[in-house]
Amino acid sequence: MKFNKYLEINSEVKEAINNKQAVVALESTIISHGMPYPQNIETAFEVENIVRKNGAVPATIAIIKGKIKIGCTKYEIEYLGKQGLNIAKVSRRDLPIILAQGKDGATTVATTMIAAALAGIEVLATGGIGGVHRGAETTMDISADLEELSMTSLLVVCAGAKSILDLPLTLEYLETKGVPVIGYGVDELPAFYSRKSGYKIDMQIDKVEEIAKIWQAKLDCGLKGAIVVGNPIPEKYSMDIDYINENIDLALTKAKEKGIKGKNVTPFLLDEIQKLTGGKSLASNIQIIYNNAKVTALIAKAMERK
């Protein structure tokens, strides 16, 4: 395969894939663009530990010197965290450029899905997926994550779509693209910082084994595209939806005043909300990814084929 010259799978991950063991893909934008240093590095290492504790092999994915790394080393994770916003945020459109020029890049959900699928990994844990941005009816600002979810076959566990987005329009887009949205223990789309959004989703599933069966049925039918599993933030760390929306509105206003657009919007808003909430949103964000890592590992174990 021609793409193999761009792909480097570490030995532990490769062995697990070959032996059909549980492997969990992890995106790297959350390291470089989602959190400040040093919490980003500490969180990345703990996420990998949580995946291991729950019976799966972690595969943090990033681009280092033009190579797609499937299973970053400790040094590479530290490098991504320390470089932060100096690392390019790479989505589908950016991928061939970064690879051809031999540059470094942090993978978004979309690019992590592409890389994981190339490597033969079936599940991905992230914080929240991208979606339709507020005001998209005039700006047409829609995350590439949504299009990737319609094309690439991966089971993606998240705390719903980021609450900075237009959640009902995001659900409509996923429905149009034929992407099932499952609530793990909830019948509403989780709103990232909050457990519920008020927007009903396709179904509620309470057991990881049932999610694994649904995934297998999808594969058996040859249906391309992803399944989104909305895994709500633990109750203890959930934030009031009205409180978080007030701060999102303030952050959106500031982003508009500064003329921030495109892929720079999300990291700006997350950082601004973190400041507005006195760090509370960052603490919630960390607990979101920890919880998603655990649930994804359990689903991956349930999906193992002996």
d(CA 46, CA 3): 31
For tokens 């058996």, what's the residue? Answer: 220
pLDDT for residue 306: 55
DSSP state of 142: B
d(CA 99, CA 110): 16
Half-sphere exposure of 37 (CA within 13 A, CB side): 11
Structure-block tokens of residue 121: 């990994």
Closest-CA residue to 274 (of 179, 192, 197, 184): 192
Topology of the domain comprising 2-302 = Indigoidine synthase fold (3.40.1790)
Which amino acid belongs to residue 120?
Answer: G
Provide Rg for the chain, Cα atoms.
18
In the beta sheet, which residues pair with residue 194? 191
In the beta sheet, which residues pair with residue 212? none
Alpha helix stretches (DSSP H) within the chain:
11-18, 29-32, 39-53, 74-83, 95-100, 109-119, 136-139, 144-151, 167-176, 208-220, 241-258, 265-276, 280-302
Residue 60 main-chain phi, psi, to 5 deg: -70, 130
Closest-CA residue to 89 (of 224, 291, 270, 251): 270
CB contact at 8 A, 35 and 43: yes
pLDDT for residue 1: 63
Structure-block tokens of residue 19: 């032996």
In the chain (306 residues long), the average pLDDT of successive 10-residue segments reads 87 96 97 92 98 98 98 98 96 96 97 97 96 79 93 97 88 96 96 90 94 97 97 93 86 86 77 85 92 98 85
d(CA 7, CA 154): 18
Residues 6+ apart with CB under 8 A from 40: 30, 31, 32, 34, 80, 81, 84
pLDDT for residue 247: 87
Closest-CA residue to 105 (of 132, 74, 66): 66
d(CA 201, CA 188): 5
**Parallel/antiparallel/unpaired status of strands 88-90 and 203-205:** unpaired
At residue 71, the 3 state secondary structure works out as coil
Which amino acid belongs to residue 220?
Answer: D
pTM reported for the whole predicted model: 0.93
Which amino acid belongs to residue 127?
Answer: G
| Catalytically annotated residues | 27, 162
At residue 110, the 3 state secondary structure works out as helix
Residues 6+ apart with CB under 8 A from 266: 33, 130, 162, 164
d(CA 258, CA 239): 27
